[in-house]
């Protein structure tokens, strides 16, 4: 068996085309467009790349995007003051604080200072709580949401399937488990303390791996034939300067039915759902009914 690619670039392009049309209609009808402000603390190389990509995608479809760049030595108090100001600014629809933050800043305090209505990352406890109870009026974390939409676009069913999620982070693992449960999958979450990992993954119909510890850790021997494999991790090999994921793509692609490449799989869909959330936040804040079924309200 040779796995088919779950191509995030292609699937995200479908959303981007729809978003661009919607933005043009909003501009013509209401004389305004969604606005996203990203706060970047320090000079983390990966963060710089992520923020640049987000700005590029926003510009392509006509969303207004700004970046507030702060020194790595900025105090938590000053950062919270900036967030408070953005919360009150009606011209700002979405606020995103690029993670990770310097060690002297408490990420949880910062994330929860963002107004839930503007929390386009979906990390605020209000949005996470809504997701947990199946209330989709909130904003859903972008990476899990992007994975779910990609599976649906490829007509991969989750109902009744055994889904194994590797990693229990608040950003991917936990919200991914919630989404899969709400789509009627049987979910197992594995982590660093899990025993007999291979025995668990071998029974999976779908594996979603978000560990980011060791490139290529998941070999073909961990995967049953016909399994769908989604690799969220982005691990840089500093010798070759290439990116890899948790999954040994070469061996696993010979037994899986579908597999995501790294890069080009999950990443583009994450940014697409960030834009989706920014548009949704704009529509909600302006009491505008959803005018495009692609935007998930």
Catalytically active residues, by annotation: 54, 98, 121
Residue 232: name the closest of 255, 254, 215, 257 by CA.
215
Strand partners, 265: none
Cα separation, 89 vs 145, in Å, equals: 27
Tell me the CB-side half-sphere exposure of residue 38, using CA atoms within 13 A. Answer: 25
Question: What is the secondary structure of 165-233 as a DSSP string?
Answer: EE---TTTHHHHHHHHHHTT-EEEEE-TT-SSHHHHHTT-SEEEE---SSTT-B-GGGS-TT-EEEE--
DSSP state of 39: E
Cα separation, 201 vs 74, in Å, equals: 43
Angle at CA of residue 245, ends 264 and 9, nearest 5°: 10
Handedness of CA 226, 227, 232, 233 (dihedral sign): negative
DSSP state of 119: B
Tell me the CB-side half-sphere exposure of residue 97, using CA atoms within 13 A. Answer: 27
């Amino acid at each position: 068996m040779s796995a088919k690619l779950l191509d995030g670039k292609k699937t995200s392009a479908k959303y981007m085309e729809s978003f661009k049309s919607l933005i043009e209609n909003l501009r013509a009808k209401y004389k305004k467009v969604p606005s996203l402000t990203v706060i970047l603390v320090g000079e983390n190389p990966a963060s710089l790349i992520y923020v640049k990509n987000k700005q590029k995608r926003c510009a392509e479809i006509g969303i207004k995007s700004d970046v507030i760049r702060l020194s790595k030595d900025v105090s938590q108090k000053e950062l919270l003051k900036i967030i408070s100001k953005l919360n009150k600014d009606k011209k700002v629809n979405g606020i995103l604080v690029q993670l990770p933050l310097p060690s002297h800043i408490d990420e949880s305090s910062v994330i929860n200072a963002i107004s839930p209505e503007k929390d386009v990352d979906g990390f605020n406890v209000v949005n996470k709580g809504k997701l947990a109870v199946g209330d989709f009026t909130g904003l859903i974390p972008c990476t899990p949401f992007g994975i779910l939409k990609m599976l649906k676009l490829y007509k991969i069913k989750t109902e009744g399937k055994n889904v194994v999620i590797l990693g229990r982070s608040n950003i991917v693992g936990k919200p991914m488990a919630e989404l899969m449960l709400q789509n009627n999958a049987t979910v197992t979450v594995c982590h660093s303390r899990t025993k007999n990992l291979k025995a668990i993954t071998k029974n999976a119909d779908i594996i979603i791996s978000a560990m980011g510890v060791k490139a290529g850790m998941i070999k073909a021997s961990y995967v049953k034939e016909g399994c769908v494999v989604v690799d969220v991790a982005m691990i840089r090999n500093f010798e070759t300067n290439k990116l890899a994921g948790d999954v040994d793509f070469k061996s696993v692609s010979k037994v899986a039915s579908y597999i995501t490449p790294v890069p080009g799989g999950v990443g583009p869909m994450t940014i697409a759902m960030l834009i989706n959330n920014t548009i949704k936040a704009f529509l909600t804040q302006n009491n505008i009914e959803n005018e495009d079924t692609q935007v998930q309200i």
